[in-house]
Amino acid sequence: MVRLTRAQTQERTRSGVLAAARAEFAGRGYRDATIDGIAARAGLTRGAVYANFAGKRALYLSVLAADAERAARAARGDAAGGTTPREALAAIVRARLGAGLPADVLDDEPARAAYAQLLELEALVLGLALERLGLRGRAVRVAASALTLLAGADHLATAAPGFVDQFDVVAACELLTALPADRGWPRAYLRHVSPARLVDEPWPDGPAPGDGVVHLLGLRRLEAAEESVRSAPAGAGVTVALVTGEPDELAPLARLVLARLDGTLRRAVPGPARPPVRLLLGPAADAVAAAAGIAEPSDDTEAAVRVVAGRVVARAEGRGAGHAAAVVPVTTTVARPA
């Protein structure tokens, strides 16, 4: 008999708990599911469940995230969604219908605040895709409005079964592409952001990202991702690393939203129109935090570095850090402080 390592045993236990949780939620719904019921299905003690997951919400979101990641991997690499903004938005809405969260899942302020910011990030990425397909102006407002209509439709579909006509929801969201152009960029405060500090440092560990901006953001500051994305010079890559001070509680929520976004892009947006923004979470984001010199990331963390030729050439912290790192003048030769 092959003896499993400790890590393998832990992974097997987590997989068993997730399978039991999936069955419990499917059979009883989120509200009526219990940790005791999940433990019984898994053949474990209540303590063993809590040793692997923070609680019922973390389990529920982890189940949804795993399903969303699996669905995203199964989606075709090149979507047949649409080649115009209106067609793509309709495809986005069809891909997202029914993907809302029960209201009682987000039953505290930290979770609600994090979810609002995750939706800001989702609206940014979807809006950028619509812009790349030709929608004039800043399309973040269009994407955010579509997500708002979807959330209302999902809520009514649960609260008043039979009332929501999904075809009407799609048709209504298509009309959002006719909204007046949103010129709300750049933000006025960016003119007053302190410049990034020029440095010359190796990337601390592992392979360095490509030339561009690496933006580290806590889950309460994700709206700031637009700063690095909009301010980065043409051809510069942008990596946004998501961190949280409550990984056991909030990381599953972030994982779900990122997986849902990935699946939506794959199903609804042609490959060339997908924004070249790299989103990181978990160990990869923690490595970026270490590279940015943030030992204990929080949900309010905001920092950025500029990378050229595999070296960190500029650093910025605080509000506007992504913009500051993006606009600092650098060349392909590593910048050195005076």
Residue 105 within any structural domain of the chain: no
End-to-end CA distance of the chain: 63
pLDDT mean over 257-282 = 95
Task: List, in sequence order, every beta strand (DSSP E) within 166-284.
Answer: 197-202, 212-218, 237-243, 277-280
**Domain holding 27: CATH number?**
1.10.10.60
Q: Report how far residue 113's alpha carbon sits from residue 236's, in angstroms, rounded to the nearest whole number.
A: 30
Q: Look at the pTM and tell me if it is higher than 0.85.
A: yes
Q: Report how far residue 130's alpha carbon sits from residue 27's, in angstroms, rounded to the nearest whole number.
A: 39
Final residue in a domain of this structure, among 53, 75, 97? 53
Residues 6+ apart with CB under 8 A from 189: 319, 320
Half-sphere exposure of 247 toward its Cβ, with a 13 Å CA cutoff? 10
Report pLDDT for 103.
84
Residue 86 within any structural domain of the chain: no
Phi then psi for residue 259, to 5 deg, are: -65, -40
Count Cβ atoms within 10 A of the Cβ of residue 13 and give its class: 0-12 exposed, 13-18 middle, 19 or more buried.
middle
Confidence tier at 50 by pLDDT (50, 70, 90): very high
Angle at 64 between CA 34 and CA 46, to 5 degrees: 30
Residues 20-34 pLDDT 10s: 999 999 999 999 999
Final residue in a domain of this structure, among 53, 71, 96? 53
Residue 103 within any structural domain of the chain: no
Residue 46 within any structural domain of the chain: yes
Residues 204-249 pLDDT 10s: 877 788 899 999 999 999 999 999 999 999 889 999 999 999 999 9
pLDDT mean over 47-72 = 94
Residue 114 within any structural domain of the chain: no
Confidence tier at 80 by pLDDT (50, 70, 90): low
Report pLDDT for 295.
87
SS3 (DSSP) at 238? strand
**How many residues comprise the chain?**
338
pLDDT mean over 295-302 = 94
| 315 beta partners | 197, 305
**Domain holding 317: CATH number?**
3.40.30
Please give the mean pLDDT across all residues of the chain: 91
Q: Report how far residue 88's alpha carbon sits from residue 90's, in angstroms, rounded to the nearest whole number.
A: 5
Report pLDDT for 81.
66
User: What is the number of domains present in the chain?
Assistant: 2
Report pLDDT for 292.
84
* Cα distances (Å, whole numbers) of residue 70 to 123, 125, 262: 22, 21, 11
Tell me the torsion sign for CA atoms 206, 114, 86, 185.
negative
Residue 160 within any structural domain of the chain: no
Phi then psi for residue 308, to 5 deg, are: -135, 130
Residue 80 within any structural domain of the chain: no
Q: Is the pLDDT of residue 338 over 50?
A: no
CA nearest 240: which of 253, 224, 251?
Answer: 224
The residue segments making up the domain with residue 294 are: 188-251+274-327
SS3 (DSSP) at 215? strand
Is residue 264 within 8 Å of 126, Cβ to Cβ? yes
Residue 313 within any structural domain of the chain: yes
